[in-house]
Amino acid sequence: ETGVTQTPRHLVMGMTNKKSLKCEQHLGHNAMYWYKQSAKKPLELMFVYSLEERVENNSVPSRFSPECPNSSHLFLHLHTLQPEDSALYLCASSPGPFQETQYFGPGTRLLVL
């Protein structure tokens, strides 16, 4: 596979469940990002990792927990989510942090019941 891949593409979970979103980039980039995209709202930057070190955490609730084991993989662990957390979660990567050339994955469509 090329570019940025995300799994699963769709996820339905109850408020008491624990699940994880996975992102993998095959571009040799050093920075990876999680975004939340809700209807009628701008893309919200959640977390930024550079060389596996978190460099940005935009006041995201602790029920979202990122993990970056290496520069190619990024996870978003989810637990005790709320219905308002239902959204499209997008992963992106770029050669370095906050660079203008970001490449996005297809996203995971999350529905919290």
Partner 1 sequence: QKEVEQDPGPLSVPEGAIVSLNCTYSNSAFQYFMWYRQYSRKGPELLMYTYSSGNKEDGRFTAQVDKSSKYISLFIRDSQPSDSATYLCAMVTQGGSEKLVFGKGTKLTVNP
Q: Which residues bind partner 1 (CB under 8 A)?
A: 4, 6, 40-43, 45, 56, 90, 92, 97-107
Selection from 7, 27, 25, 8 nearest residue 73 by Cα: 25
Q: C-beta of 24: minimal distance to partner 1 in Å?
A: 14
Would you give the distance in Å from CA 87 to the centre of its chain?
11
Q: Which is nearer to partner 1, 41 or 69 (CB)?
A: 41
Smallest gap from residue 38 Cβ to partner 1 (A): 10
What is the closest distance, in whole angstroms, from the C-beta atom of residue 11 to partner 1 in the complex?
15
Measure the CA dihedral 88/58/74/86, to 10°.
-20
Q: 12 or 15, CB closer to partner 1? A: 12
Instruction: Name which of 16 and 84 has its Cβ closer to partner 1.
Output: 84
Cis bond before residue 66 (omega within 30° of 0): no
**Residue 80 C-beta: closest distance to partner 1, Å:** 27
**If you search the block for the tokens 């770029």, which residue do you land on?**
94
User: Among residues 65 and 97, whose Cβ is nearest to partner 1?
Assistant: 97
